[in-house]
Structure 1
Amino acid sequence: MQPEQSPRHLVAVFDTPVAAALIRFGLDLGFRTTLLEPDPTVLQGPPGPHGDAVVADLQAAEITEHTDIVLTDHHRPELGRILKDSLTTGARWIGIMGNPHHEGPHLAALRKLGVPDDEIARIHRPIGLNIGSRTPAEIAVSTLAGLIADRNNRPGGFIF
């Protein structure tokens, strides 16, 4: 039985194993979920548990002030454009996966697009609680736990 959905909306960007786990667990946690994959040629296999919608762009994702956007790959060529566009949507929270001990490639991509540093600072990285996650499911659990903590104004361990 699915829990009653709240206005919470999770947009997982890029069809990756982490995105699949985010959507699977997000549905159980009451999020309306959307997979945003700008390149339909990389959708992994036949349609599966992709949540409530699969879209190709942010406009189709129907972003609101209740939306959390999570980019699940930091090596895709669309990275800068999607993050820049995300910053204009009114999304509640925007984050990107990546090792907190290395500068993320999103910084250079956004600066190249002329995004000011104060806007770039709105993007969360790392995106999950510091639980030592390694697998896609563990990364999804740590990310969703962090989002829930943030929504509930609780310290979630985003500090590394």
Structure 2
Amino acid sequence: MADNPESGSSADTACDVAHGAAKADTVERTLVAVFASPVAGYLLAYGRDLGYTPVLVDPDPQRASAAGAVTTVPELDGSADVVVTDHHRAELGPMLRDALREPARWIGVLGNPRHAGPHVAALTELGVAAADIARVHRPVGLNIGSRTPPEIAIATLAGLIADRNGRPGGFEF
């Protein structure tokens, strides 16, 4: 089908959406950032722009209150993506265990891929089954050399979009 300059539509639905000639399909989805951190702030702000309903979770009542977060992982469904934004927190294991009890679509932990993920030992100590531990993604996001909280958030969201759309990310189509 050729482009139709009079109607402003083409055979490429994505192109039509990008040019405002068609509405994007809206899909209910939730983005849960675990632990109030600079990355979590950018992740949820940018995620809102991408159509996610943002949820911040921090088990520390003082941090939760200061950041407007809830203290426990909420009830989730298969449309939820969960990103743990701090792998140094003592509550890492319990928070991941609780997230793994939910049927979230995707669960991941930020961290340098050159270092062993501390979540494995934390979850193993809590008696979480190996199959459940394997559901946790690490590293998270696309490899763009991100260093700052906004860059890390963008890389993470790009990885979630690629995964949701069944794409590898990067420049290979």
Q: TM-score range by the shorter chain?
A: 0.7 to 0.9
Task: Please state how far the C-alpha of 1:113 moved relative to its aligned partner.
Answer: 0.8
Task: Please state how far the C-alpha of 1:85 moved relative to its aligned partner.
Answer: 1.4
Give the conservation status (yes or no) of the 8 Å contact 2:44–2:54: yes
Distance 1:77 1:33, change over 3 A: same
Percent pairwise identity:
56
TM-score when normalising by structure 2: 0.79
Task: Please state how far the C-alpha of 1:137 moved relative to its aligned partner.
Answer: 0.4
Task: Please state how far the C-alpha of 1:40 moved relative to its aligned partner.
Answer: 2.3
Where does structure 1 differ by over 3 angstroms across 4 or more consecutive aligned residues?
Answer: none
Secondary structure at the aligned position of 1:55 is classed as coil
Greater RCO (CA < 8 Å, at least 6 residues apart): 1
Task: Please state how far the C-alpha of 1:42 moved relative to its aligned partner.
Answer: 2.2
Runs of at least 5 residues in structure 1 that lack an aligned partner in the other structure: none
Task: Please state how far the C-alpha of 1:143 moved relative to its aligned partner.
Answer: 0.4
TM-score when normalising by structure 1: 0.85
User: Aligned-pair RMSD on alpha carbons?
Assistant: 1.8
Give the conservation status (yes or no) of the 8 Å contact 2:57–2:64: no
Give the conservation status (yes or no) of the 8 Å contact 2:64–2:70: no
1:17 paired residue number: 38
Code of the aligned partner of 2:76: I
Task: Please state how far the C-alpha of 1:74 moved relative to its aligned partner.
Answer: 0.4
Secondary structure at the aligned position of 2:40 is classed as helix
* Alignment counterpart, residue 148 of structure 2, candidates 124, 129, 135: 135
Code of the aligned partner of 1:75: H
Runs of at least 5 residues in structure 2 that lack an aligned partner in the other structure: 1-23
Structure whose alpha-carbon radius of gyration is higher: 2
Give the conservation status (yes or no) of the 8 Å contact 1:4–1:30: no
1:151 paired residue number: 164
